[in-house]
């Protein structure tokens, strides 16, 4: 492990950011009073276990339902969610457990009536974890489309526009199934702009996108979608509920945490340490292209003699080719290391706030002034590994991977560049 002086600061910024968007004792206080008849919970995403436990703390045995989260992100020792059934399922690709959870969620929603309350507790990852494909779409076809979407470099709003038009849950369909019950949604946002229609593919809000737009997205990224998917999108017979749909009139939506909350907490930590803060907010884009821009900004600050921390969130993308390991944050970190070329005054951290970058056990990676030098000493060619999209292999071998385990929250990426430490 590298013990560069900036490591302690970067780790502190990360901890402050994640703590600010985690489910805590304040979360349950935001939940509404129980219903006059029946209160049910459907929780989905990487924070689902913590959210379900908070709901049980709020309502006790008066609440039931289900919570679906990624494998390994479930309840911790000593936690209890009562009659809310805990399910662990596949992510980023939906598996049979996620499909079973989706079917159970629809059955629960369909059984609600006037006077009932459905609590939808959503967080990043919900799109893959809670799924019920439209008639005619097989599990294998659904996986194929999702895998292609993850690899093509499309931003999350376009990915979810396609997903919504292949699902019986997404794009307001879960709310439509629960009508005439009241629906209260509390969400942790992992999407730039915090649009409820995009978070977990918006199961309880109207969908402004269309099947035609979803088909256009598939064409734009040259996705080889199965014929079953193309047929459903061309026919348009399963269009999602649109704004003004009367089945959505009893829906209320609140945000519990966003990327901005994480960045504000990290900014306070940086200022306490005596650094000026450049907060770039939520950013989208190809990981290595964003890295080049932020390397130029950091270098300019260093050359001006500044002592600063550059903060950013959002969700970066990677257009994949090959079989390398590593998610968008480590791809960004490797591209940043190459762009900085061992600048002696600049260090950085890039990680996913859920504790999992891509599909590995690493949250992300550090970049230090000697990262490339240590790589060369270990006979690692950073440029070749970047082209192979094997940033995971690079940082594992050089010893700069960040391993945190599941955080059970998710506001997408967190990036910090320290200048002048």
Give residue limits of the domains in the chain. 6-17+260-419, 23-132+167-206+241-257
- List, in order, residues 6 or more apart from 136 with CB less than 8 Å away: 228, 231, 232
> What is the DSSP secondary-structure string of 369-401?
TTHHHHHHHTT--HHHHHHTT-HHHHHHHHT-E
Question: Taking the CB of residue 268, how many other CB atoms lie within 10 A of it?
Answer: 14
Name the CATH superfamily, with its identifier, for domain 23-132+167-206+241-257.
Answer: Glycerate kinase, MOFRL-like N-terminal domain (3.40.50.10180)
Q: What is the per-residue pLDDT across 170-212, written as a single tens digit (0 to 9) for each? A: 999 999 999 999 999 999 999 999 999 999 999 999 999 999 9
Q: What is the pLDDT of residues 259-310, one digit of tens each?
A: 999 999 999 999 999 999 999 999 999 999 999 999 999 999 999 999 999 9
* Residue 200 CA from chain centroid, whole number: 9
**What backbone torsions phi and psi does residue 147 show, to the nearest 5 degrees?**
-65, -45
Sequence-ordered strand ranges (E) for 57-150: 63-70, 83-89, 117-122
361-384 pLDDT, tens digit per residue, is 899 999 999 999 999 999 999 999
Q: DSSP readout, 240-258?
A: PP-TT-GGGTTEEEEEEE-
CA distance 300 to 419: 10
Closest by CA position to 262, among listed 411, 122, 407 = 411
Q: Look at residue 252 and tell me whether its pLDDT is greater than 90.
A: yes
Task: Give strand pairing partners of 185.
Answer: 120, 253
| Topology (CATH level 3) of domain 6-17+260-419 | glycerate kinase, domain 1 (3.40.1480)
The CA dihedral of 174, 177, 179, 183, to the nearest 10 degrees, is -20
- d(CA 95, CA 139) in angstroms, rounded, equals 8
pLDDT value for 325: 73
């Amino acid at each position: 492990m590298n013990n560069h002086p900036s490591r302690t600061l970067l780790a502190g910024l990360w901890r402050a950011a994640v703590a600010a968007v985690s489910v805590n004792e304040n979360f349950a206080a935001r939940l509404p009073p129980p219903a006059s008849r029946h209160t049910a919970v459907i929780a989905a995403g990487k924070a689902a276990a913590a959210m379900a436990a908070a709901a049980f703390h709020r309502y006790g045995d008066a609440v039931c339902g289900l919570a679906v989260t990624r494998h390994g992100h479930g309840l911790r020792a000593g936690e209890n969610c009562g009659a809310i059934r805990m399910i662990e399922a596949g992510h980023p690709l939906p598996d049979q457990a996620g499909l079973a959870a989706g079917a159970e969620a629809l059955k629960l929603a369909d059984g609600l009536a006037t006077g009932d309350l459905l609590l939808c507790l959503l967080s990043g990852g919900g799109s893959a974890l809670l799924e019920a494909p439209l008639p005619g779409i097989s599990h294998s076809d659904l996986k194929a489309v999702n895998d292609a979407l993850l690899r093509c470099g499309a931003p999350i709003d376009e990915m979810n526009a396609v997903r919504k038009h292949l699902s019986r849950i997404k794009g307001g369909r879960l709310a439509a199934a629960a009508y005439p019950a009241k629906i209260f949604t509390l969400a942790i946002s992992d999407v730039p702009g915090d649009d409820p229609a995009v978070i977990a593919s918006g199961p309880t809000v109207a969908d402004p996108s269309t099947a035609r737009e979803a088909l256009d997205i598939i064409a734009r990224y040259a996705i080889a979608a199965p014929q079953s998917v193309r047929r459903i999108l061309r026919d348009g017979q399963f269009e999602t509920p649109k704004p003004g749909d009367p089945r959505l009139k009893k829906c209320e939506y609140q945000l519990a945490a966003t990327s901005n909350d994480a960045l504000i907490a990290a900014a306070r930590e940086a200022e306490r340490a005596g650094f000026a803060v450049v907060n770039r907010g939520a950013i989208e884009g190809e990981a290595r292209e964003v890295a080049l821009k932020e390397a130029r900004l950091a270098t300019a600050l260093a050359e001006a003699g500044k002592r600063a921390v550059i903060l950013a969130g959002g969700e970066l993308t990677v257009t994949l080719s090959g079989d390398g390991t590593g998610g968008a944050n480590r791809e960004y970190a490797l591209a940043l290391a190459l762009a900085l070329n061992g600048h002696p005054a600049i260090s950085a951290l890039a990680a996913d706030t859920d504790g999992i970058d891509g599909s590995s056990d690493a949250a992300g990676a550090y970049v230090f002034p000697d990262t490339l030098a240590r790589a060369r000493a270990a006979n690692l060619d950073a440029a070749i590994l970047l082209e192979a999209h094997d940033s995971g292999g690079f940082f594992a071998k050089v010893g700069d991977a960040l391993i945190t385990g599941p955080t059970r929250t998710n506001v997408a990426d967190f990036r910090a560049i320290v200048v002048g430490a």
